[in-house]
Structure 1
Amino acid sequence: MRVVVAAGCALVALLLGLLFAGDRGPGDVDAAAQSVVAGWPREVLVALVFPTEPYVVWAVVPAAAVWCLRTARPRDALFAALAPALAVAVNTWVLKPLFDRWKNDTLVYPSGHTVIMVATLVVVFVLVGRRARAIVAVVGPVLLVCVALGMAGLGYHYVTDVAGGAAFATSAVLALRGLIPLDRRADVGVRE
């Protein structure tokens, strides 16, 4: 199942990237989202993008790695530490220049803030037990919608940048999971 989801997300990120490559303007979906958030108070928009702030997300990454080490899961700790960082690096140094989508003199596709947030959420989803996965599966999409609206309202990104970032991050983390097998520990309830 992981391979199918990873491939599907990679395809979505690629197709969105090709659709908007080099384009400096919003598509219809982007324009519609911008019209929805037009006039929202800046404080609300800033609060919506808070989960993507580096100091928020980067606090979760070492916490996940330490948790894995404390539960005798060294491969999971390596995965928790590497997956978000590699996703951000590939996004920044390969995908953004490749797709060449600009907004306000900045490369914006896929959204780097979205990549780090979603990569971290997918890492947590993979590492936790079944009950906690259900929480992440509900909270994650809600956060993503909030982030998309906040980014659009602040003028940082188009919502298609956010969608592409989410798709790429999911694909990248799941692909890396295939390269770093899950540590199996019955006492922590981890199952893949």
Structure 2
Amino acid sequence: MSGRAPYGLVAVTCAVIMVVLGTLVPGEGPAGPDQLAAKWVERSFGGDPGLLRLLVLPTEAYVLIPVAAVAAVLCLIGRRRLEAALTVVGPLVAILGNTWVLKPLFGRWKTTYLAYPSGHTVALVAVLTVLVLLARPGVATAVISVVGAVVLAGVTIGMIGLGYHYLTDVVGGTLFAVATVCAAWSSLSWAERRREPVPSDG
């Protein structure tokens, strides 16, 4: 994984889109795309709450924490300390930043709780983004990306169907998670390069 890839640009782009979307969605109630998505989910999956709960399962802490822990251990075994740090720093900063800063800032309510960006989505996508960045370029990256996209699609259906979040909450959470993890990797890579000894001319 190269720290010189344009992860900073990806982070800024995703963050800007997330902020713009957050200013466009209403403080309470669904936006237009949210209504369309809710109707489609209700028509297609509304009669099977068991399936909806199963689709949301990947967002649970008891699923995500072991996945991140295994990734960190494998990185440490392979002496990839910077990548091991990313598995902890990226998701943790994303989750805390979303909970303590973004949700109160945007103030979008769904019944009794703040909903934008979706915390379930932030946790899931942060871990998925870490896994994509850790994977060796090529087939492994493609497989993890495709599997991650399928899992995220299922989670989106589940959260909409169960009434946890609107579609725009999920989109905002996805954007913020990708932005945070990419920014974390750029920062860690920059700090590591600063620590490298300067070659001697003599």
TM-score strictly above 0.5? yes
Name 1:20's counterpart in structure 2: 25
**Which whole-Å CA distance do the structure 1 matches of 2:47 and 2:187 have between them?**
43
When normalised by structure 1's length, the TM-score is: 0.91
Name 2:34's counterpart in structure 1: 30
1:33 shift after superposition = 1.0
Q: Which amino acid aligns with 1:30?
A: D
Number of equivalences: 182
Name 2:141's counterpart in structure 1: 133
Name 2:131's counterpart in structure 1: 124
Name 1:157's counterpart in structure 2: 165
List, as ranges, runs of 4+ consecutive aligned residues in structure 1 with deviation greater than 6 Å. Answer: none
1:31 shift after superposition = 0.6
Q: Which amino acid aligns with 2:121?
A: T
Q: CA RMSD in A?
A: 1.4
Choose from 115, 140, 152 the match for 2:122. Answer: 115
- Residues 46-95 of structure 1 show CA distances to partners (whole Å, capped at 9, x for unaligned) of 11111111111111111111111000111211111111011000000000
**Which whole-Å CA distance do the structure 2 matches of 1:36 and 1:54 have between them?**
28
**Which whole-Å CA distance do the structure 2 matches of 1:3 and 1:86 have between them?**
16
- Residues 106-164 of structure 1 show CA distances to partners (whole Å, capped at 9, x for unaligned) of 00100001001000011011111122110122112222221111111000000100000
Name 2:11's counterpart in structure 1: 6
**Which whole-Å CA distance do the structure 1 matches of 2:175 and 2:121 have between them?**
10
Q: Contact 1:40/1:153 (CA < 8 Å) preserved in 2?
A: no
Name 1:167's counterpart in structure 2: 175
Name 1:95's counterpart in structure 2: 102
**Which whole-Å CA distance do the structure 2 matches of 1:179 and 1:8 have between them?**
16
87-96 or 41-50, which moves further after superposition? 41-50
Q: Which amino acid aligns with 2:68?
A: V
**Which whole-Å CA distance do the structure 1 matches of 2:152 and 2:32 have between them?**
19
**Which whole-Å CA distance do the structure 2 matches of 1:11 and 1:164 have between them?**
10
Computing the radius of gyration from Cα coordinates, the structure with the larger value is: 2
Name 2:62's counterpart in structure 1: 55
